[in-house]
Amino acid sequence: MTRVRQWLAEARRLVVLTGAGVSAESGVPTFRDAMTGLWAQFSPEELATEVAFRTHPQRVWDWYQQRRTALRSVHPNAGHRALADYALRYPGRMTLVTQNVDDLHQRAGQPHTLALHGDLASDRWLDEPRSCCLTQPPLAGRPPRCPVCANLRRPAVVWFGEALPTDLLARAERAATECHLMLVVGTSGVVYPAAGLARRASAGGARVVIVNPEETALDDIADACLRAASAHCLPRLLEPAPADTMD
């Protein structure tokens, strides 16, 4: 911890890459936990692909609605808050890239979050919207649809097999290439292109530090692994050094 705090103090450009584990202590289930993870209970192919949505729109819509409802009663935890406080304390130093769609970084006050996998609370059109989609209010339903052409509303998240938003990914890749230190927090590191950002940072000469109670698929490139829960570890890692607090 002391060594990593020293690296942090030296790093002029920091990237933080987060995954589901950063929200675990807020009560949001992760994806790959063997017992409680979403993908232990549900099949991604049946719920998180465009084919699944076109085949069973109501089933997929209802599953996302359940997750949206669950998110309304959760709150950012000490890990989200420590990251946001750090970003505000050192403007322009940190780029936060998240795979999470839960909005908890943003709700903690994190400026400029790059949410690579979208936003669970928002919808968008399934097919390219025509003028009718843009001028007529959608008909309520599960899912809502355009009253004229029957185009469907879908959750504004990235599904398996879909490309990430080009602009966001390019910004994240640039930040990873240029950073001096990357913190990889609460992700198993198995989903690309997000996990590739850590490999890119390492290849560019940045130090990579992993915060995760378990082993991850990115441990091979880590300069240090802090085996701890993020809500416990991040406040200690990111708290101001004594000199910073003296006026």
Binding-site ranges for ligand OAD (CB under 6 A) = 19-21, 24-25, 30-32, 37, 48, 99, 117, 158, 186-188, 191, 211-214, 216, 229-230
What are the Cα distances from residue 142, in Å, to 23, 148, 188? Answer: 28, 16, 32
Q: Is the Cβ of residue 146 or residue 233 nearer to ligand OAD in the bound state?
A: 233
Which distant-in-sequence residues (6+ apart) come within 8 Å of 177 by Cβ? Answer: 200, 201, 204
CB of 96 to ligand OAD, least distance (A): 14
Determine the distance from the C-alpha atom of residue 174 to the mean position of all C-alpha atoms in its chain, rounded to a whole number. Answer: 17
Shortest Å distance, C-beta 152 to ligand OAD: 19
Looking at the Cβ atoms of 42 and 244, the one nearer to ligand OAD is 42
Q: Which of 80, 117, 180, 232 is catalytic?
A: 117
Of the pair 117, 207, the CB lying nearest ligand OAD is at 117
CB of 140 to ligand OAD, least distance (A): 26
| 120 to 72, 100, 154: CA distances (angstroms) | 11, 9, 10
117 catalytic, yes or no? yes
Determine what percent of the chain falls in helix, strand and coil, rounding each to the nearest 5.
45, 15, 40
Give me 245's structure tokens. Answer: 């607090």
Residues annotated catalytic, as ranges: 117
